[in-house]
Amino acid sequence: MNGHRWEQFIIDYLPKLKIFRFWMFFIADTDEEVNEIIDSYRTPFWLIHHQWFIRCHWALTDDKIMVYLHT
């Protein structure tokens, strides 16, 4: 789930949430796909309003990109 979907879910269902922690793994086909996911967590909601920062670790295997996102 990208940052925009998480943002909307939190606004709609968890508006008083103070601490957000997660660990997510996905497989991407292109660098652009990875960048789109990472960019979705670079909005004022994440960076300014809540100061929740997401880390990204990735590894290239064969023709896929294994991506780990976590707080």
List per-residue pLDDT tens for the chain, 71 residues long: 899 999 999 999 999 999 999 999 999 999 999 999 999 999 999 999 999 999 999 999 988 999 999 99
SS3 state at 18: coil
Residue-range domain boundaries for the chain: 21-70
Is 69:36 a contact under the CB 8 Å cutoff?
A: no
Phi, psi for residue 53 in degrees, rounded to 5: -115, 135
Q: Could you tell me the two tokens for 47?
A: 């960076």
pLDDT of residue 63: 87
**pTM (2 d.p.):** 0.88
Give the per-residue pLDDT at 35: 96
Q: Residue 58 in contact with residue 34, Cβ under 8 Å?
A: yes
Cα distance between residue 33 and residue 35, in whole Å: 5
